[in-house]
Every structure is written in C-alpha cells, then in structure tokens.
Amino acid sequence: MEYKVKAACLYNFIKFIEWPDDKTSDSSTPITIGILGEDNFGTAFNEITSRKIRDRNLVVKKISDFSAENAKPELLKCRLVFVSTSQRQHTGEVIELLRNKPVLLVGENDGFIEAGGIINFVMQDNKVCFEINADSAEEAQLKMASQLLRLAKRVIKSGKSQSSNAVGIMLQNMRGA
C-alpha cells in the first residue's frame, strides 16, 4: 500500500510542477519517470501510466543501479527521478548529476532534501508524507504550485525549515488519482 500511495504522489507532483520547457516542448513526447534502484512499486504505476498529464503520456523507466553503464544518460532523459533506498549510497552522485537540470528529484532517505534532493518521502504515524527543498527546486528551474508547498510536511526555503499539517488533504485528493 505504501508504494501505491507513493506512485500516486509522484503522478500528482508532476501535475503541480511547471518545467521550463512546458510551453515549448512537443506534446507527443512522453513524460518519463525514472525509478532508480530497487523497484518496490510492483503494479502501482499500471493505472497511472494509462493517464495523461497536459496531453502527454507517462512512461516509467526502471534503472536498476546508478553504476550501470547506461544509468546516467537515461536519468538525464527523465522529468522525474525517484531514488529508492537501495541506491542511498549513490545519493550524492545522483544529486550532482542532476543539479541545476530541470529534473524533479524525489527520494525516500533521511537527509535527502538536505543533501540537495527536491522532494523526500517520510513515514509519519504509518502514513506517507513528504518534505520539499524549495531552494533545490528553484535551482532546477522548476516552479512548484503553492498548493504543493502547503501540503508538504516540511519545506526548506533559503536554509529555513517550515512545517505543515496539510498532508492529509493531498492524500485524500490522491485517492481519486
């Protein structure tokens, strides 16, 4: 169930983010979600990838290991990269590779947003929550809707951390995703 909720969150994150080339990119080009490392999602993306966002199809690309020969070029083709716990040892390298690139970098490890990731999943009271590093999003030229920032459990902006209790609202909204 945890990864079904995370898959729905990833889908919804895309809806709340504006990429620098959104207005100029070809709508026939799919939005690629990269899953780096162990794939715990199972079939959670099946329903989601049958939908469109901004008239664009969604594609999920699985990259088993950051050390693989094709990993870096494949990650650079993604709009969103999810770094699983199994790739924790490569977090710094992944962040460096994608720093200042228009890629939404999402993780699930302690310290992920402090290291430069953009969104990090955290579990609280057996519920999936998320935190955001707004400074990293800005560096990546990604514009986040204010609704997304308000729903985050914690937001880092210019070195300051702010907390929110509105995560439940987004999770309720995502059940329809």
Alpha carbon distance 121, 84 (integer Å): 10
Both tokens of 96, joined, read 């460096």
Residue 87 has pLDDT above 50, yes or no: yes
In the chain, pLDDT over 90 holds for what percent of residues? 71
pLDDT tens, residue by residue, 88-126: 999 999 999 999 999 999 999 999 999 999 999 999 999
- Beta carbons within 8 Å of 127's beta carbon, 6+ residues apart: 167, 168, 171
Q: How confident is the model at residue 167 (pLDDT cuts 50, 70, 90)?
A: very low
- SS3 readout for 4-56: HHHHHHHHHHHHCEECCCCCCCCCCCCEEEEEECCCCCCCHHHHHCCCEECCE
Number of helices (H), then strands (E), belonging to the chain: the values are 7, 11
Both tokens of 43, joined, read 């079939």
Residue 142 has pLDDT above 70, yes or no: yes
Q: Looking at residue 170, what is its pLDDT?
A: 43
Q: Which domains does the chain have, with CATH numbers?
A: 2-174 (3.40.50.2300)
pLDDT tens, residue by residue, 23-66: 667 778 899 999 999 999 988 888 788 888 888 889 999 999 99
